Amino acid sequence: MEADSMSKKVALVTGAGQGIGEGIAVQLAKDGFAVALSGRHLDKVQRVADEIEKAGGEAFAIEADVQYRDQVFDSVQKTVDHFDHLDVFVNNAGIAHVAQICNTKEEDLDRLLDINVKGTFFGIQAAAAQFRKQETPGKIINASSIAGHEGFELLGAYSATKFAIRGLTQAAAKELARYKITVNAYCPGIVLTPMWDQIDEEMGEVNHVAKGESLKQYLQGIALGRGEEPEDVANLVSF
Ligand SMILES: NC(=O)c1ccc[n+]([C@@H]2O[C@H](COP(=O)([O-])OP(=O)(O)OC[C@H]3O[C@@H](n4cnc5c(N)ncnc54)[C@H](O)[C@@H]3O)[C@@H](O)[C@H]2O)c1
Ligand SMILES: CC(=O)[C@H](C)O
């Protein structure tokens, strides 16, 4: 256990090996948190943890797949074993999938629900259990999306999971407030992370998008179609 982290706030970020999760972990470390980073691929989260340590921060990498409840609870225990306690849990891990609803395979729908919804559900359960065991306040922060406020064509199953996360966040906030545990969600627009490489790859030929146009341009087109100023759309595409 790191002696210094006894006084530091401790955060656990899921899916922290790249993208938004990596950005959150790095910023939390800059803000003085001791950070546990969990992900399906230990080498990816270890890379980010090493970078945080090299920059003078405290970090600890954990291999955990959020679709499995026991691995989520285990990641919290490993964080507490290493840093003594937990203050913040960020349910960041998530996947997207591009398909028209009528063409979405059940196995893809199951994968999205297992990782995005059940993974977030398990994270709330595990974090709340730890905060109550510590008898301390705590913060739980979940990854929803712009697609959790508007259902986008070609992202129907994904949007459903992000809407679900908003509802889950609101319900958890009401249930856990009495324990001084806050539950909030972030809803980014389009953030140019490796998720978009995968989304663009899955695009292929679909009716709604002109050949060669990426989903990013398609979504931007929707925003522009609403008469939003280009700079508004530009704000969506940032990292
Ligand atoms: N990039 C965007 O435009 C955008 C917009 C709104 C919301 N989001 C949400 O933000 C979160 C992060 O997105 P991102 O763009 O950084 O994605 P990303 O694909 O770049 O990174 C996601 C990370 O989560 C990990 N992950 C996936 N499934 C996992 C699992 N079962 N267990 C543990 N880790 C797992 C991946 O390995 C990866 O490291 C996601 O929940 C996503 O839905 C992204
Ligand atoms: C991929 C994502 O979450 C939205 C559509 O930006």
Distance in angstroms (rounded) separating the CA atoms of residues 134 and 71? 20
Specify if 71 maps to a domain: yes
Has the ipTM of the complex gone over 0.90? yes
pLDDT in tens, 90-115: 999 999 999 989 999 999 999 999 99
187: buried, middle or exposed (CB in 10 Å: 19+, 13-18, 0-12)?
A: middle
Residue 203: pLDDT band (50, 70, 90) is confident
Distance in angstroms (rounded) separating the CA atoms of residues 31 and 232? 29
Total number of domains in the chain: 1
Specify if 229 maps to a domain: no
Residue numbering of the annotated binding site: 18-20, 65-66, 92, 158, 162, 188-193
- Predicted local confidence at residue 234, as pLDDT: 42
Q: What separation in angstroms does the CA of 142 have from each of 3, 11, 106, 134?
A: 29, 13, 25, 21
Specify if 152 maps to a domain: yes
Residues marked active site are found at 158
Distance in angstroms (rounded) separating the CA atoms of residues 35 and 122? 19
Specify if 237 maps to a domain: no
Specify if 28 maps to a domain: yes
**94 Cβ below 6 A of ligand 1:** yes
CATH code for position 159: 3.40.50.720
**19 Cβ below 6 A of ligand 1:** yes
**15 Cβ below 6 A of ligand 1:** yes
pTM of the model: 0.90
